[in-house]
Amino acid sequence: MNALEQLKRFTTVVADTGDFNTMRAYGPRDATTNPSLILKAVSKPEYRSLLTRTLAAHPGEDVAAVCDRLLVGFGAEILAIVPGRVSTEVDARLAFDVEATIAKARHLVALYEEAGFGRERVLVKVASTWEGIRAAEALENEGIHCNLTLLFSFPQAVACADAGVTLISPFVGRIYDWYRKHDGVDDYAPEEDPGVLSVRRIYTYYKKFGYPTEVMGASFRSVGQVLALAGCDLLTISPELLEQLSKDEREVERRLDPRQAREEAVERVRFDEKHFRYAVNEDAMATEKLAEGIRIFAADAVKLESLVAQAR
Ligand code: E4P
């Protein structure tokens, strides 16, 4: 068995891409998209027809409405390939607006339902800001499942679990990028990788206290990082790394295990709004990466809008 097949024995493998033609070969159960991945896919000639069809089907709609349809259009194509769920991200410009995030999530789910896909197959991706977490809490109460993204720190993970969200995406690679630059080092061994250690800590805490929120490691830079988290509930992996895993013959060992996590000496903590904001602010990496992540996704949403505007 190659490393990808072995990994699938312990972990649900998810494809991290909008480029749905490349995912078939790896048999992921779910798929995740984000604004940057959708922009990248729409910019490829082979997906241009999806944009053209979306515009032709909704001639009177404004650019923002067409963009929502396009995000769902990609998601619907993905759902025709994967048996599980697709994650579609809410506009990052709404990251600090509870009501607008709720309204956008309801709208995206309504578009999926119009296209024939029930809400059980959709995860609405929301930034793990205090406001994003509050919006997700409300959405979960009405049966809209959320994937809390741009998650770089333990306080964000604790607040998400206490809010009862379906799934979190703790990032590995962006934490690794920040520490590499900060520490002036070339690389970290997987066992010392700050991104890997962050996900392990969150996983241990969730399993120790029996939180049902699923942990999906995201943002990987190497096969080593992915395999260091073998056993995590889910891992979302780019097509490039899925390809490398499928050609890798090494033996894959389970690194995360719920029984082992329950044995760990871990203290329960709670974060109200003041403590959450203070704790995230105390973590320079999380504060900078969360802010930067929102800026990049917002900028890519603007680029997507101009692409749509030009295509009209
Ligand atoms: C997936 O949910 C994330 O958006 C993605 O893994 C981020 O990856 P990146 O850090 O490589 O952009």
The model's pLDDT over 237-256, given as tens digits with 9 standing for 90+, comes to 999 999 999 999 999 999 99
- Residue 104 tokens, joined: 């956008």
Q: How far is the CA of 56 from the centre of ligand 1 (A)?
A: 31
Per-residue model confidence (pLDDT) at position 78: 97
Mean pLDDT, rounded, for 228-245? 98
Q: Is the dihedral of CA 255, 256, 261, 267 positive or negative?
A: positive
Q: What sign results for the dihedral spanned by CA atoms 15, 296, 90, 58?
A: negative
Cβ < 6 A, ligand 1 pocket: 16, 32, 34, 149, 169, 171, 173-174, 218-219, 236
Return contacts of 205-208, CB within 8 angstroms, 24+ apart: 205/154, 205/157, 205/158, 205/161, 205/266, 206/157, 206/161, 206/261, 207/258, 207/261, 207/262, 208/261, 208/262, 208/264, 208/266
pLDDT surpassing 90 at residue 82: yes
Tell me the mean pLDDT in the region 256-271: 98
pLDDT category of residue 191 using cuts at 50, 70 and 90: very high
Confidence of residue 312 (pLDDT cuts 50, 70, 90): confident
| CA-only gyration radius of the chain, Å | 19
For residue 96, give the CATH number of its domain: 3.20.20.70
- Residue 240 has what pLDDT? 97
pLDDT digits (tens, 9 = 90+) for 204-225: 999 999 999 999 999 999 999 9
Question: Which residue has the CA at smallest separation from atom 7 of ligand 1?
Answer: 219
Strands (E), the chain: 12-16, 30-32, 86-89, 122-127, 146-151, 167-170, 214-217, 234-237
Which of 86, 88, 125, 219 to mutate for ligand 1's pocket (most ligand atoms within 8 Å of CB)? Answer: 219
Active site residue: 8, 44, 104, 125, which one?
125
Residues 137-147 have a mean pLDDT of 98
Atom of ligand 1 lying closest to residue 218 CA: 6
The pTM of the full predicted model, rounded to 2 decimals, is 0.97
Angle at 188 between CA 185 and CA 194, to 5 degrees: 100
Decide if pLDDT at 76 tops 90: yes
Residue range 187-191: mean pLDDT, rounded: 96
Average pLDDT on 137-153 reads: 98
Residue 8 bears catalytic tag = no
How many domains is the chain partitioned into structurally? 1
Domain that holds residue 265: 3-311
